Amino acid sequence: MEIATLAGGPARYAIATLAGGCFWCTEAIFKRLRGVESVVSGYSGGRVENPSYEQVSSGMSGHAEAVQIKFDPKEISSEQLLDGFFKLHDPTQLNRQGSDVGEQYRSAIFYHDGRQKKTAEAKIASLEKSDVYKSKIVTQIEPFKSFYEAEDYHKDYYDKNRSAGYCQVVIDPKIRKLYQDFGDKVRGVYKNT
């Protein structure tokens, strides 16, 4: 996943579009990594233009809950982003993550160019060869077509709702794992508040 620059943006940044279950989780994780400039929750990989959360949740739009990550490849490589992606969700669950079930929760990498595609394919091949997972990886590798930002109430959901049950039960353990496994690549110190 080499440099795919943002249209009109500075060339020093690259973008990655990833889906690993609920975007509240993936946004909370990736925004804590050093070298990540921004993370936006939204929808990608579907058939409906500018879908609403309700359309995506119904499973009828074909979109996955995804995040679009703007990052500095001099600080964090594409491979390191994929390391986090594969370590912090279960890429062997088809159309689900835990109790979140449906095509909108699928594991997917939406590649922006040929290098991103090759990097994703190589990462999956390496993980399957190493037998890290007991089951086959079902992460889809799809060409990027479009990304639609989620509604405002989804943005920074974890940071705004830390006391919510979903955040405490589902997201907090992932954040703890991030700090434990990615130490020097994570911003700040983990605070369980």
Is 25 catalytic? The answer is no
Calculated CA dihedral for residues 122, 120, 29, 33, nearest 10 degrees? 70
What amino acid occupies position 16? Answer: A
Residue 107: beta bridge partners? 20
Report residue 138 CA to chain centroid gap.
15
| Alpha carbon distances (Å) from 39 to 33, 76, 87, 98 | 10, 14, 18, 22
What are 17's two structure tokens?
Answer: 């579009």
Please tell me which residue in 14, 16, 18, 22 is annotated as part of the active site. 22
Please list, in sequence order, all residues whose beta carbon lies within 8 angstroms of the beta carbon of residue 69, skipping any fewer than 6 positions away. Answer: 15, 16, 17, 18, 30, 36, 38, 39, 81
Residues classed as catalytic: 22
